[in-house]
Amino acid sequence: MADFIIALCLVTSVVAGYFAGKNIETSTDFVLADGRYPTFTMVALMFSMMIGSGNLFSGMDGVYRVGIIFLVSNLGLSIQALFFTFMTKAIRNFKEAIFPGDIMKTMYSENGQKIFGICTCLKAFVGTVMQFIAIGYICNILFGINSVVYIMMICLAVTFYCACGGIRAVASTNILQLLIFVIAFPIVSSIVLHKSGGLENILGHVPPGHLRIWNHLDLMKYALIFLWNAIPSDVGVMHRILIAKSIKQAKTVLEISALLYIPVVILLAMLGSCSLAVLENAPQYGVFSQLLNIALPYGFRGLVAAGMIAVLMSAAGTHLNVLAISFTRDVIKPFFQVSLQDKTELFLMKIVTAVLGVIASLSPLIFINIANYAEFFDSIWFKSRLD
């Protein structure tokens, strides 16, 4: 049953992404589409910039070990979205820009664009790799699946539809994946809450220090993390502002996304608190995996896996799309001083997407053992936020 749910999600995403990008004929269409997306589609595109593997895995571990202040610091992402509403008009004033790198070129010449391109590509590549590794993590912890073929199939599916359809494919699959997440996440949360003995039992197991915010010993550190998250610097968000059909729509989408992120943080805080009631001893790694394996009936793990993989596919596709566009327009073109015809640039972006996507897809092979997955997630996401 679990395999069927995941396979259905995977096939549907590939088909939707392929047909969405089937009629792309220009590089501008690959990057911006037609600028006529409805608000719901734009919210799906924007929300994928805010939710990913870091939120889902380190969030629960952070609540388990530190307290809710760990997730409160993540709310800076909502503030970032709201800050961007004040920058929307300025970003849209660059009439010829189809990607943030074009704005950097106008303001700071080609040298500024080159620096921007290198930084954007490094961040987007790491983001893509993180999501692909997390897909292997999900397959492993919920089903004990170590199959290279199984995990690679999911990663390569994301690469395929991103290469075929660019932002059109990302938009169509983000809609599907957001719907799956919105359905699966609350259901899973309610089941885990019930298995944990209800809200009263959970609160009885939560140490008083885990509920502190203003008088928390590490308040200054998490306040700085909050401020860091609030800085309006995300290239993907700026790209979404350029995609929106109007300044008004861009602001509306940012406001909705900022509000939509809040219940996700609340549910993650609740799940992290549930782990305090369910797990008797603090695990060295993998609070997320141990909680779900203990609290969820096996039949529901397919739903969990589909929801989690949908989120990770959405985030991976978003990062990969930004990576390919920036690498082509902000690295290859300015560094090699080439002037490409439109169809040649379109073809190059598709090839770059495919090549970089395949390279990123190989990353789960390094962490195919569950102990390696757990160590990776603990050291990269959690310890980096505490040390």
Q: How far apart are CA 368 and CA 144, in angstroms?
A: 11
Q: What is the mean pLDDT of residues 29-49?
A: 86
pLDDT for 297-309, tens place per residue?
A: 766 766 677 777 7
The model's confidence at residue 373, banded by pLDDT at 50, 70 and 90, is very low
Percentage of the chain lying above the pLDDT 90 cut: 30
Least confident of 111-120, 140-149, 245-254: 140-149
Instruction: Tell me: pLDDT of 291 over 80.
Output: no
**pTM score, whole prediction:** 0.85
Q: What is the mean pLDDT of residues 194-218?
A: 80
Tokens matching residue 379? 């050291």
Q: What is the mean pLDDT of residues 343-370?
A: 83
Q: What is the mean pLDDT of residues 121-143?
A: 79
Range of the domain at 141: 2-20+30-386
Instruction: Tell me: pLDDT of 341 over 60.
Output: yes
For the chain, the first-to-last Cα distance in angstroms comes to: 41
- Which of 282, 257, 259, 213 has the alpha carbon at shortest distance from 70? 213
Q: Can you give the CATH number for the domain in which 379 is found?
A: 1.20.1730.10
Tokens matching residue 153? 């199939």
Instruction: Tell me: pLDDT of 384 over 60.
Output: no
pLDDT for 144-164, tens place per residue?
A: 655 566 778 888 889 999 998
Opening angle at CA 22, ends 17 and 23, nearest 5: 135
Percentage of the chain lying above the pLDDT 70 cut: 83
Please report, as a single letter, which amino acid is at residue 209.
Answer: G
Residue 25 lies in a domain: no
Q: How far apart are CA 84 and CA 253, in angstroms?
A: 11
The model's confidence at residue 18, banded by pLDDT at 50, 70 and 90, is confident
pLDDT the model gives residue 142: 60
Instruction: Tell me: pLDDT of 350 over 60.
Output: yes
Residue 185 lies in a domain: yes
The model's confidence at residue 333, banded by pLDDT at 50, 70 and 90, is very high
If one compares 280 and 365, the residue with the highest pLDDT of the two is 365
The model's confidence at residue 387, banded by pLDDT at 50, 70 and 90, is very low
If one compares 180 and 122, the residue with the highest pLDDT of the two is 122
Q: What is the mean pLDDT of residues 247-269?
A: 90
pLDDT for 50-106, tens place per residue?
A: 877 666 666 777 777 788 888 888 888 899 999 999 999 999 999 889 999 999 999
Q: How far apart are CA 154 and CA 312, in angstroms?
A: 10
Q: How far apart are CA 337 and CA 331, in angstroms?
A: 10
Tell me the pLDDT of the chain averaged across its residues.
81
Give me the torsion for CA of 149, 151, 153, 155, rounded to 10°: -140
Give the three-state DSSP class for 50: coil
Radius of gyration of the chain measured on its C-alpha atoms: 21
Helices (H), the chain: 2-20, 27-32, 39-47, 53, 59-65, 69-72, 76-85, 88-92, 100-143, 148-195, 198-205, 219-230, 235-243, 247-278, 287-295, 298-326, 333-336, 342-361, 370-377, 383-386
pLDDT the model gives residue 117: 95
The model's confidence at residue 358, banded by pLDDT at 50, 70 and 90, is very high
Instruction: Tell me: pLDDT of 112 over 80.
Output: yes
Residue 147 lies in a domain: yes
pLDDT the model gives residue 375: 47
Residue 257 lies in a domain: yes
pLDDT the model gives residue 288: 67
**Number of separate domains in the chain:** 1
Residue 336 lies in a domain: yes
If one compares 355 and 277, the residue with the highest pLDDT of the two is 355
